[in-house]
Amino acid sequence: MKKLYFLLFIAMNVSIVYSQNKQIDDIHNKWVPNQVIVKFKDNYQLNNRLMSVGKTGTSQAFDDLAANTKIKKLERVFAQDGFFVRKAKLRGMVRKYENLTTVTMVKDSVNMNELIKQFQAMPEVEYAEPNYIFSTGNTTKPNPVQLISLEEEKQNYLTNIKIDNTKIKSPFRFLAPAPAVTPSDPLFAQQLNLQLINAQKAWEVTKGDSSVVIAVLDTGIDWQHPDLAANIWTNPKELNGKTGVDDDGNGLVDDIRGWDFVNNDNDPTDDNSHGTHVAGIIAARGDNGIGITGVNWYAKIMCIKVMQSTGRGDAATIAKGVEYAAANGANIINLSLGGYYESLTLKAALENAYANCFIVAAAGNDATCIGPGKCPDGSPSAPLYPGAYSFVMGVQDNATYSNYDQDGAFSSGYTNLLNYDTYAPGSSVTSTIPNGAYAAYTGTSMSTPAVAGIASLYMSLNKSYDKELLFTEMIQQQTNGFVDAYKVLTDVPKPDLHIAKFDIVDTAAGDNNNGRPDAGENINLRIYLKNFSAKADSVSIKVSYEGLADTSLVHFIQDSCFVGSVSPNAVTFSQSPLNIAIANKVAHGADYKINVAIKDNKGNKWSNQIVITFQNAITLGGIITNDLTLYPNKYYNVTDNVILNGCKLIIKPGTVLNFSQGKGLRTNNKGAVIAL
C-alpha cells in the first residue's frame, strides 16, 4: 500500500478558519503560511524526473492546478529511501515510507479554502490540509535557580504557584521522611516534582538503566550539558563511521545523536532552552554530584529538534521527527508540545510509531477543558493535540493553569474517546538549561517528561511489558493527585472495568431510529466497557432497577449479556445487546437511572450506573388540512413526509422537530410554513 504526502507552499492573503472546538492562538499561528499538505491515495506515485519539471505524473487535473498556482518545488515529507524504509521494516512497521512527499507552490492571493476543495475533489487525493502550527506552550521561565533549602523551596512552590485547592489541599502532606535513596546532586532538594511523584521510593526498586531510549522531540537539546552528556543516545554506525559519510545508509549524514529537522543538519542543539529542560527532567544523570537528577538516572535521550527557537513547529516537521524516533529504536516519545488543530498527517505518523513506542504528550497551559461542549466555568472547550488522542498519554498538572479533562480518564464525550489521562507536577520545576545552567519552569511541558521518566523506569524493570497495561497503571496509580512512580513499579494489577459510553439502538419495527429512548419503543442498549488495568476474562453485564425507580416505566426484556475478554486499556461491547421496553406514559425529558453490574470469571465485580432521558414526542406525518401550531414545550417526531394542503403550519420559537432520515415538509394548494 503506497501513501503519498505532498506539502504545498502557497503565498496567500486570506485567512482560513477550519472547524475546531476553540481557537486559542493568534490566527496567524494556526498554520505555516503558503503551505498545504496533500495526501494521495494508494497506488499514486510521484516520478522524481517529472517533479523536477513541474509535472507530478499523477493526473492532468493535478498538473493543471499546479501550473495555475505555479509550482515552485516538489519534495517528499519523508525520504524516498533510507531509514524510513529499511529501519521501519526491520522494526515491523506496516506503513511504507517511499512515497511520503512534499510540494511547493507560489501565487499571490490564493483562495486557500477553494484550493483545498479542489485538491479534495481529485480522485487520487485522500485529503488536503494546512501545515498546522504546534507550540511548546506558554511555559513560564523564572530566574535561574540558586541553592536553597527544601523547606524554602516548598514555601516558594506554594506561594508562587496557585494550586487549585479543590483538587489538592497540600501537595506535600503525603511526603514521608526522606527514603534511603537520596542522590548527591546539589539541587536535588529543589526538585519537588520528584518528591511529588514518589521518585525516591521508586528508586529503591530501580534507578533505571541505559537500555531505554527516550526521544525528546523539542527545540533541541544541549547534548554537551555536564548533567546530560553521559545520557545522550548515540547512533553506533555513525559514531564509529567516517565523517561526512552516511554510514548507516539512512539518508542522513552523521546523525550521531539524532537530527535537526528544522535546519536539516546533524546538530540538534537547543536554541531555546525548552528541550534541554525537558530532557533533564527525564534523565539528567543521577548521583553524579552535579546539578539535578532525572527520573531515570541512566536512560538514553535521543535528540530530535522539530521546534524552532521561538518554540513553534509545524505538523510536517514534527511528523518527520516522530518517524525518525520510531525507526531508530526509541522506546518512548516525549512531546511537550501541542496545538488545537488536528493534523491528520501528524496523527498518521503517531499511529504508526505507537506500534513500537510509548507516546507521552502535554495537555496544555490554557486552563481549558478538553470538552466536548462548555467547560465547567462556561468557557468553550478544546482538545489539545496530540495529547488528547486515546493512544497518547496526555499529561495534566493539578494546578489552575493546566488544561484538564473535565470528565476524567474513565469516560469521554467524544466518539473517538479523546482524553487526557494522568497528572504530574509541572509547577516551578527545576531542570537543566543550555550552557551548563539550571532554571525552574512551569507548564505541562514539565509534567510530561516526568511521566516519560516513570515509563522508562517501568521499562528498565520490565524488559517485556504490556504497553496498554503500563498505560492504565499510569492512570490508576496516583497519590494525592499525581502519578505515583513507586506504585506504578510495584502494583500487582487487577482488572478495572468502567462504562466508557452507551448507545441506544431503536431500529425495530415501529421505532423511529433516532437513537433516543422514545415512549412506547423497544430499544436495544449497547454498553461499552473500558478496562483500566489487567486483562479481564469472561466478562458479563446485568442491568437492574435503581433502588427508588418506578418499575412500571421500564421493562427489562433482556437484562444480561456476555461480553468476553477485555484487554488492558481496551474498549469493547457485547455483540448481543440488552433489550428494554419503555412505557407509553413516560414523561418527556425525564431522567431514568439504571444500575449496571459487571463481573468477570475471577469474582471481580464493578457497580456502575447509566442515565437515559425519555422522550414522549408528538408524531407528525401525512397530509394536514387544518392550521396547526407547534410549541416549544412539546417535542415533535416527523416520521413521514408532512404535506400542508391549503393550511398553515406555525412553528413557535424554540420548538424542536426531529426528522427521520429523508423526511421533510412540503406545501400544496397555497399551504405555508411560518417559522417565527
Q: How far is CA 414 from the centre of its chain?
A: 12
CA distance 420 to 443: 15
Could you tell me which of 179, 180, 163 has the C-alpha nearest to residue 171?
Answer: 163
Which residues have C-beta within 8 Å of that of residue 550, sequence separation ≥ 6? none
Ranges of H-type helices in 271-343: 274-283, 315-327
218 catalytic? Reply is yes
Q: What is the DSSP letter of 383?
A: P
- The bridge status of strand 332-335 relative to strand 213-218 is parallel
Q: What is the DSSP letter of 71?
A: E
Q: What is the DSSP letter of 409?
A: T
Given 185, 218, 248, 260, the catalytic residue = 218
CA distance 641 to 117: 34
The residues with which 125 forms a beta bridge, in sequence order, are 40
CA distance 71 to 51: 10
Quick check: helix, strand or coil at residue 671? coil
Q: How big is the chain, counted in residues?
A: 676
Q: What is the CB-side half-sphere exposure of residue 298 using CA atoms within 13 A?
A: 11
Please list, residue by residue across 486-510, b when 16 or more beta carbons sit within 10 angstroms of its beta carbon and e when fewer do: bbbbeeebebbbbbbbbebebeeee
Could you tell me which of 433, 453, 452 has the C-alpha nearest to residue 220?
Answer: 433
- The bridge status of strand 656-659 relative to strand 635-645 is parallel
498 catalytic? Reply is no
Which residues have C-beta within 8 Å of that of residue 485, sequence separation ≥ 6? 197, 198, 199, 201, 202, 295, 454, 457
- The bridge status of strand 578-582 relative to strand 522-531 is antiparallel
Given 445, 456, 533, 574, the catalytic residue = 445
CA distance 78 to 3: 11
588 catalytic? Reply is no
The three cell numbers of residue 467 are: 504497553
The three cell numbers of residue 546 are: 435503581
Q: What is the DSSP letter of 389?
A: S
Given 135, 227, 248, 274, the catalytic residue = 274
C-beta separation of 296 from 208 below 8 A: yes
Instruction: State the residue for C-alpha cell 459487571.
Output: 598
Which residues have C-beta within 8 Å of that of residue 161, sequence separation ≥ 6? 399, 427, 428, 442
How wide is the angle at C-alpha 547 spanned by C-alphas 542 and 553, nearest 5°? Answer: 80
CA distance 128 to 473: 38
| φ, ψ dihedrals at 539, nearest 5° | -80, 140
Q: Where are the beta strands (DSSP E) in 321-389?
A: 332-335, 358-362
Q: What is the CB-side half-sphere exposure of residue 53 using CA atoms within 13 A?
A: 4
Q: What is the 3-state secondary structure (H, E, C) of 601-665?
A: CCCCEEEEEEEEECECCEEEEEEECCCEEECCCCEEEEEEEEEEECCEEEECCCCEEEECCCCCE
Q: Which residues are catalytic?
A: 218, 274, 445
